[in-house]
Amino acid sequence: MADRSRIQRKTDRQAKEAGEKTKDGKEVKNEGENVHDNGEGPSSELLSANDVTANDENGDLEVEPMELPPFEIIAGDRIDPFAFKFQFKNVEYSSGRNKTFLCYLVDKGNTANGLLRGCLEDEHAGSHAEDAFFTQCLSDYDPSLKYTITWYMSSSPCSACAAKIADVLNTKKNIKMSIFAARLFEFEEPEIQAGLKSLHKAGCKLRMMKPLDFSYTWDTFVENEDQPLNLWEDCKDNYEYYHEKLSDILQ
C-alpha cells in the first residue's frame, strides 16, 4: 500500500482515534459508550480539590500536574477485554497507549509443568514488562531444558529491552523466542531500529500481528466471556503497513 494513500487514511482516523485518547494511559471508550472503570480508567471523582484549581481572573479550571504512583508490574492469566481492544489496536497513531501488555506462552519441552501461559502489564516508568518476564516468569530457568517462548505484545520492545532480550538469546542457546507485536514502537528512531536488528540477529523471530493473531490472543488471553472479537475496520491494512516497515528495518 502506497504511503500517499495512507496519509489520507491517517487524517480520517484521527477523528476516530480522538474518542480513544486517554489520560495517563487509562482507557476511554468511544462509540457513544461511557468510561469503564475496570482498573484501567479513572473516574471524574478522582479529580479532587488537590488536582484542580480555579483561575481567579476568569474562573477557568486548571489541572495541576499529577504525580504518578510507584511503578508496578501487574501479572495475571487474562486481560480485561476493554484494555485489550484499546492497547492492542494496531493504529498508526498510538496516543495514550503508554504501557505495554505482554501475553506469553512458555514450552519447556517434556516436563511436568507443560505449557505455561500468562500476561504481564507494566505501569508508568521503570522496569518494563519484557524485563519482568525474565525475572518473574523465568526465575526457575534450567539450562538443561529447551525453552520455546512466544510473546504477543501490544507494541514492540524499546531499545533497552531489545538489547536485554538479545543478550539472553546470545548467552542462553537453549531458548528459542518469537515475538508478535501489534504495533512498532517509535520505529523511525535509529536506536529502536538497531535494537530490532539486534533481536533478529540473535535469532528472535519478529513478526507483526495478523488479524488471525489478534483473534487468537483474544481467545487465549482475554476475559472475553465466550464472545468473539470483532476486528476493527483497518486491522488488515494496518498490519500490512507495519509489516512493510518491519521488513524494511530488518532487511
Q: Cite the active site residues.
A: 130
Q: Which alpha helices (H) appear in 19-134, and where do they start and end?
A: 81-87, 129-132
Residues 122 and 28: their CA atoms lie apart, in Å, by: 18
- What are the distances in angstroms from CA 44 to CA 50, 167, 227? 13, 44, 30
Looking at the chain, which runs of residues are DSSP E strands?
Answer: 52-54, 61-63, 72-76, 101-107, 115-123, 147-153, 175-181, 205-208
Instruction: Provide CB contacts within 8 A for 54, sequence distance 6+.
Output: 60, 61, 62
130 HSE (CA, 13 A, CB side): 26
- What are the distances in angstroms from CA 20 to CA 34, 177, 228, 239? 11, 32, 21, 19
Q: Is 186 helix (H, G, I), strand (E, B) or coil?
A: coil
Residues 81 and 38: their CA atoms lie apart, in Å, by: 10
